[in-house]
Structure 1
């Protein structure tokens, strides 16, 4: 039976709204001049009509009781609409995933076709090389030891006599995480050059210089390694360390790197942190700041206090930074050094502080919390 807006206006009943289609509800909403859009759900239009009819007292009191009787049915319809929408979204996502898989497969086929038909390489075995038969021999990618992985891959490729022009094609099948992102960011021409792909992947996993230094120093020969392989691994780690320190085959920087390393080895073992200053920068010398006589007396008193307890020692260094006194809440002074100019040429390691929220959460279940007021906070 077809729905008529005029019939409903003559005899409005909320129960009539339950079986109506979206088109009928939209026509009725336009009659009552309600603001709706074509993207609105049928349940939203029905709820809007019910609210309007009740607020304008278009329905009778008896019909209000009928509304309560049809609440369950209305809820069922709303749940049914939501379920249909959820199913449609799920189908859409499945279609997107399927389309993405097809795109990846098409790209692999294109790469295989390009590898089979390329004429730039003079190697005669290229046309006879079947990539699909050799993919299973590619070693699994290891994100924790990227440098060693490339050594392993190159050894496998050389042992199996793979043409160098297909190395990137075989390598990309094993890349994961940041390595795959770095490979995807390259152009088509760059992605076919093994050295370019290798450099891009290594840059994606680039560590701080201190990490490369420790890897080089702590590297030891494994039982499964030959001495040639171990020497090659040491050479690679040393090169990565020099690149991170921007040595760039300059004797002066390499000399400074070795001297700094030997100096660190002579320091006491209880020294855990240090400043890495650009030692090629000329020494920074600052004249002492002028102080009020009262502050000057407090400064000399603090210096004698630190000298007596071995906190500081007299120095004849070429580097010199001014001292300042910062007033504290109790009226005394805090002895500080103005290192702002030194900080401009200082390369400090990144050790992020823990989040305050995490520290608070860690003591949230504690029964006793102790607070210490330290005499000196920095030594």
Structure 2
């Protein structure tokens, strides 16, 4: 090769290398964005766990352990520190059924309504956790508002619930 043919070949090679360099940069940026999103989600989950622990430390038990109210079956059960329910699975669970099960569990355990939001938050992940974390601080502590936001996310209403 000589002259114009060589010049043409070199130009093509440089263009080819530049295209691959741009593709590599694009892939790196996408990986960085994915890592950043994962980091943000982990930070939100960590903050949520910190809030749950803080709430548990600051919230006194609803009834003393030594006094049993025999008229209320829930008071005969041990007080649960955190829910022993499986986390909500977006792909397999229906939010309305899950919330109904959660509310029944909360009733059986004698949880005050004001504590239900924080217990529910401990069971959320994925899209449902995103819905919860988008609520402002006051609304995130109110179970009814959390429940309604989750139902809206899945295009359900309180009436359909």
TM above 0.5, yes or no, is: yes
2:104 matches 1:167: no
Q: Give the alignment partner of residue 149 of structure 2, picking from 166, 177, 200.
A: 200
Normalising by the residue count of structure 1, what TM-score does the alignment of the two structures yield?
Answer: 0.31
What is residue 32 of structure 2 aligned with on the other side?
95
Normalising by the residue count of structure 2, what TM-score does the alignment of the two structures yield?
Answer: 0.64
Determine if contact 2:88/2:124 at 8 Å carries over to the other structure.
no
2:87 matches 1:149: no
Question: CA offset at residue 172 of structure 1?
Answer: 2.4
**For the residues of structure 2 that align with 1:70 and 1:100, how far apart are their CA atoms?**
45
Residues 174-218 of structure 1: CA deviation (Å, up to 9, x unaligned): x53xx55543431122123222100122234137xxxxxxxxxxx
**For the residues of structure 2 that align with 1:110 and 1:102, how far apart are their CA atoms?**
12
Q: Give the alignment partner of residue 73 of structure 1, picking from 2, 5, 10.
A: 10
Structure exhibiting the larger radius of gyration computed from Cα positions: 1
**For the residues of structure 1 that align with 2:98 and 2:40, how far apart are their CA atoms?**
28
What is residue 104 of structure 1 aligned with on the other side?
41
**For the residues of structure 1 that align with 2:130 and 2:48, how far apart are their CA atoms?**
18
Determine if contact 1:191/1:197 at 8 Å carries over to the other structure.
yes
Unaligned runs of 5+ in 2: 66-79
Q: Give the alignment partner of residue 86 of structure 2, picking from 137, 141, 145.
A: 137
Unaligned runs of 5+ in 1: 1-64, 208-238, 244-379
What is residue 122 of structure 1 aligned with on the other side?
60
What is residue 183 of structure 1 aligned with on the other side?
132
Residues 240-288 of structure 1: CA deviation (Å, up to 9, x unaligned): 16x9xxxxxxxxxxxxxxxxxxxxxxxxxxxxxxxxxxxxxxxxxxxxx
Cα 1:83–1:159 change in 2 (3 A) is: farther
The CA RMSD measured in Å over matched residues stands at 3.6
Q: Report which structure shows greater RCO (CA 8 Å, sep ≥6).
A: 2
Cα 1:121–1:192 change in 2 (3 A) is: same
**For the residues of structure 2 that align with 1:99 and 1:193, how far apart are their CA atoms?**
30
